[in-house]
Structure 1
């Protein structure tokens, strides 16, 4: 997988408002978006998902993306693949659960899963 690069190369970006006047938006004013993704035995698809999700989220220079994977007791190499992907990308976080807890509802995720508020 190609290492994800931020498309917002300069410290500020021109953002046009409804009156078409340019505003400078600095990186410190970017909105942090945390995407929480439960995974279970997703070794074959997780790298494609990361690539596509970061590509989609990074198209907007106002967004600082974060993807939090909750490994729900995978028995394949999903965790190893996530750790490999995380080593090259600080936007990825991993929560590894020791067994399958059947995470199907957002209330089941711990409050510390994402750093966006």
Structure 2
């Protein structure tokens, strides 16, 4: 699932707004959801929803679920099993931040999911 940051430069702030596009994180996140991404804070854990860049696709900012650390980065999967635009296709990703909340259209936490 691709994401469109309000501004890539805003990802430098501790909390950044990001607009989600595409179906790969459905039903957790849907096309059009707006989320807050935290840079820094606690370390990424398996099950967290994260914003990342695949090393093989540095032009593509994505939102996925962290599965496991590998090769100094993370192996990521989408929640929608019918869409495979994740580490199965693109390999290891570098995580930029963790999704902590959805603020539009259904405000609420985006909890980690045990894998």
Fold conserved (TM > 0.5)?
Answer: no
TM-score by length of 2: 0.22
Larger Rg: 1
Query: Relative to total residues, which structure has the larger helix share, 1 or 2?
Result: 1
Instruction: Decide which structure has greater strand share.
Output: 2
